[in-house]
Structure 1
Amino acid sequence: MSQTRFRHARPGLSRLAATALLLTLMLATACGSSSATATATTGAEASVPTATDAPADPTPTTPPTPEATPTATAAATPEPTAAPTGPVAWTVETFVSGLEIPWEMRFLPDGRIFVTERPGRVRVIENGQLRPEPVATIPDVAPVGEGGLLGMALHPDFANNHWIYFYYTYQSGGGVANKVVRYTETNNTLVDPVVILDGIPGAQIHDAGRLGFGPDGKLYITTGDAAQPELAQDTNSLAGKILRLNDDGSVPPDNPFPGSPVYSYGHRNPEGLAWEPGTNALYATEHGPSAHDEVNQIQPGANYGWPIMQGNEGPNNGYTLPVIESGTDTWAPSGATFVQGNTFPQWTGSLLFGSLRGTTLWRLDIPGGGSPPNLEAIISGDYGRLRNVVEGPDGYIYILTSNRDGRGDPASDDDRILRIVPQQ
């Protein structure tokens, strides 16, 4: 609930001072001296309403706007006050339906939207409509367990080079592994595959798979521990890590481990990446072992403790602790985004992330300066498993469901892309 605080205007002269001034003026007039004047200074201060408690109901109403406190100046002209921004009422609508386990969506500069489906298809949405034929079906995708076609990222110069990157699972020997492949998009087709990185350990579970280009122009990749927890502590392994590469797959010279793509380690299954506007700080969401799910701020070379630590639990021998963890609750957090626009000012600057088992869209406010973070549920339990959340160029919030992944209870139109829009 938003709060508005006003401080009433205070007289610039006390009653006693005014009486004394009146006597002085009367005496001066009686003595024939020139008249004296005094100006009473008045002022008012109004804070802009803030919304820290966005409602969990998907169709809340806007709270009434409080009446402004009157202000005055010596010339009787009202002082201008800041317009309240207040919470914006919102509702949830279905944007696209009929998908099969969507994992990632990206907005192209020309208005198209690409969506990955875990069985190996890349779908395209044009003019708000899902085209029946996929842009591509990647032939060597192995949709095994939690694996398949997962993350996707557009090159920062996509408008010119049309490079698009995918993370997916493939058959390797008697098991599976994961790799990152770059394609060139042309006329709704994908051509010229180039392997950027392969041999990332894979398994039935904990394949991670999020991709994102950071503000530094580098490609960041999340990997799971592939059901081998000890690999997360091994900096010679690509499992249980956040990796950082140049756009051609080479290792940046300023990576924390020379010649290695490893950027941070000690991760169990990080599925969300997001950069904070203004600070460019990198945050990642991470699955715990049925509890102690985490949101971490990622530092180069840092060890996040898995499997020795779970959240804040365990012997902390210099491990980097999470910004927040779920304790004994389970979120199963996945995709994340920082809200940058002002369509919903109550969320601007906050980190949104979806949760699978928790079936909740969470908002995390990270105030900094030593203040504790604040976590609240925006949507909870209404739409099933939530795989990803993305802020669109229109300022709306897009959410991917994951109810056909074998662990959900799909509705007839699942899986879907939901959209949070201002309520009319």
Structure 2
Amino acid sequence: MALYLVLIQIEVRNTSFNPFTAKLKMYNTFMKKSRFLLIFLVALAIVAMILGLWRPLERRLHPTSNPKSSEAPQVSILVSGLEVPWALSFLPDRDLLVTERKGRVLLIDLQSGKPVIKVIAKINEVASVAESGLSGIAVHPHFQQNHWIYLYYTYRRNGRYVNKVVRYELMNNQLTNPKIILDNILAARTHDGGRIKFGPDGYLYITTGDAQVAKAAQNPKSLAGKILRIKDDGSIPADNPFPGSPVYSYGHRNSQGIAWDKAGNLWSTEHGSDAHDEINLIKPGKNYGWPIVRGNEKRSDMESPILQSGEATWAPAGAAIIGEKLYFAGLRGEALYVFNIKTHDLHKYFEGEFGRLRAVVVGPDGLLYVTTSNRDGRGLPRPDEILVINPKKL
């Protein structure tokens, strides 16, 4: 009997709870769950970045700009599958012209209900490298009489990059009879400006970048880092601020958007150096400071921006004005910004939804037409599109 009890005791001890073994099992279970949780969180972060839900800190608007979040309005896609569309301009018959950075000019026929894309030119001498290439397009105010279309693009001459403005005739859905209107604009792989528009005075305005030569923006003999103003044949208006020169304003780093308000005032968007992007009210003959001052830095002989982004980066591009609202596209900001030129309130829409935004124009129907720029080597590659936005819902 005693032996039996001893055997039972030994059996119980052999099957009793072992603290070390239990802890080891708990540790293994914890590590398995931790690895699963880590994999899940990494996958979730990747999906969030792809969907544009994660936003780096530097992409937030600087507090000095006081942006206000707004409910996204109605938006539709006009066309998709473009290749880095850069600029838009409407013809009098309501068809839409589009430039692509690599050198194509497209006409989007909007007459038949469903948009039809036609290639009306391929500019073979375009040098499309980094930010350079075919950029601006403008329709002459008297297009119905002369059929003139203007292009701004980069090309190579004697081993150097140069920008120029060329006038064409649009006949039978083809650009013909090219004529150089303005040449010898300093160019580079980046900082090429490129926006061209006819102003309410009938003259052609041209934005140029500093072409990576910052001091050129302050050089009155250089066409780089300026806003230029010329007649439709390339000659100089008699009332330009500097006699015999196309320079209208200077001290610009890389202005890519211009628009006029109902009072005839000229506004521009300008890229800062990694931050301090600007909205400027342009006055003839004035110095806008680059590279001497930037952002809120002030000098009595230089103009300060009406709005600047602080340490954030919008990379503001195309601009359009309806009433008292300036609409401008954000490349790095990946949003459409709406700035009230009277109250200086700033709102942003579609942040991250469509990627990088570049051109903004007002169509004959009063709607905003906006291009994406998602295949330009920056940001997350996505299809390039033309968006149609109802500004009344912004």
TM-score after normalising by structure 2? 0.80
CA distance in 2, matches of 1:221, 1:92: 30
Q: Deviations over 1:41-99 (max 9, x none)?
A: xxxxxxxxxxxx986332xxxxxxxxxxxxxxxxxxxxxxxxxxxxxxx3111111010
Matched, 1:118 2:101: yes
Which ranges of structure 2 fall in alignment gaps of 5 or more residues? 1-66
CA distance in 2, matches of 1:55, 1:329: 16
Query: What is the match of residue 169 of structure 1?
Result: 154
**2:88/2:96 contact within 8 Å kept:** yes
From 354, 360, 372, the counterpart of 1:401: 372
Shift of 1:132: 5.1
From 296, 300, 315, the counterpart of 2:284: 300
**1:123/1:131 contact within 8 Å kept:** no
Q: Deviations over 1:288-307 (max 9, x none)?
A: 00111000011000000000
From 329, 340, 345, the counterpart of 1:365: 340
Q: How many pairs are equivalent?
A: 324
SS in structure 2 at match of 1:98: strand
CA distance in 2, matches of 1:140, 1:180: 13
- Name the amino acid aligned to 2:130: G
- Name the amino acid aligned to 1:199: N
Query: What is the match of residue 253 of structure 2?
Result: 268
Query: What is the match of residue 127 of structure 2?
Result: 142
Comparing 146-155 with 387-396, greater Cα deviation is found at 387-396
- Name the amino acid aligned to 1:396: L
Query: What is the match of residue 105 of structure 1?
Result: 88
From 342, 352, 372, the counterpart of 2:327: 352
Which ranges of structure 1 fall in alignment gaps of 5 or more residues? 1-52, 59-89, 340-347
Query: What is the match of residue 226 of structure 1?
Result: 211
Shift of 1:129: 4.6
**1:122/1:135 contact within 8 Å kept:** yes
SS in structure 2 at match of 1:331: coil
SS in structure 1 at match of 2:74: strand
Query: What is the match of residue 318 of structure 1?
Result: 301
CA distance in 2, matches of 1:106, 1:261: 23
- Name the amino acid aligned to 1:56: S
Shift of 1:332: 0.3
Q: Which has the higher contact order (CA 8 A, sep 6+)?
A: 2
RMSD: 1.5
**1:178/1:201 contact within 8 Å kept:** yes
Distance 1:129 1:409, change over 3 A: farther
Comparing 237-246 with 103-112, greater Cα deviation is found at 103-112
Shift of 1:160: 1.2
**2:94/2:364 contact within 8 Å kept:** no
Query: What is the match of residue 418 of structure 1?
Result: 387
TM-score after normalising by structure 1? 0.74
Shift of 1:388: 1.2
SS in structure 2 at match of 1:97: strand
Query: What is the match of residue 329 of structure 1?
Result: 312
Q: Deviations over 1:346-392 (max 9, x none)?
A: xx43000001000010000011xxxx511111221111000011111
Shift of 1:111: 2.1
**2:78/2:115 contact within 8 Å kept:** no
Shift of 1:330: 0.5
Query: What is the match of residue 3 of structure 1?
Result: none
- Name the amino acid aligned to 2:317: S
